[in-house]
């Protein structure tokens, strides 16, 4: 349950970073937005991986978030 709460918090932070970037017409916050997006997807993947029925979705989410973190670097 706490993993979904963390995913929600990271999702809200992603939206805030994107909104600040749009309002300021700058891409200064793009790296923050990508980090929070990757963390949100990773936490959702962990939640799905711990769920016995949909463990493949968790692996796919994990791979997707790792790709986001690689692009971020």
Write the burial class of residue 73 (CB in 10 Å: 0-12 exposed, 13-18 middle, 19+ buried): exposed
pLDDT tens for the 73 residues of the chain, in order: 788 888 889 999 999 988 988 898 888 888 888 888 888 988 888 888 887 777 788 888 888 898 888 888 7
pLDDT at 12: 92
CA-derived radius of gyration, the chain: 13
Spell out the domain ranges in the chain.
Answer: 2-72
Indicate the pTM of the whole model. Answer: 0.80
């Amino acid at each position: 349950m706490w993993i979904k709460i963390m995913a929600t918090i990271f999702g809200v932070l992603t939206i805030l970073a994107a909104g600040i970037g749009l309002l300021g017409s700058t891409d200064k916050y793009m790296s923050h937005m990508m980090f929070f997006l990757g963390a949100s997807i990773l936490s959702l993947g962990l939640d799905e991986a711990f769920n016995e029925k949909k463990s493949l979705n968790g692996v796919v989410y994990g791979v997707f978030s790792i790709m986001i973190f690689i692009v971020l670097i």
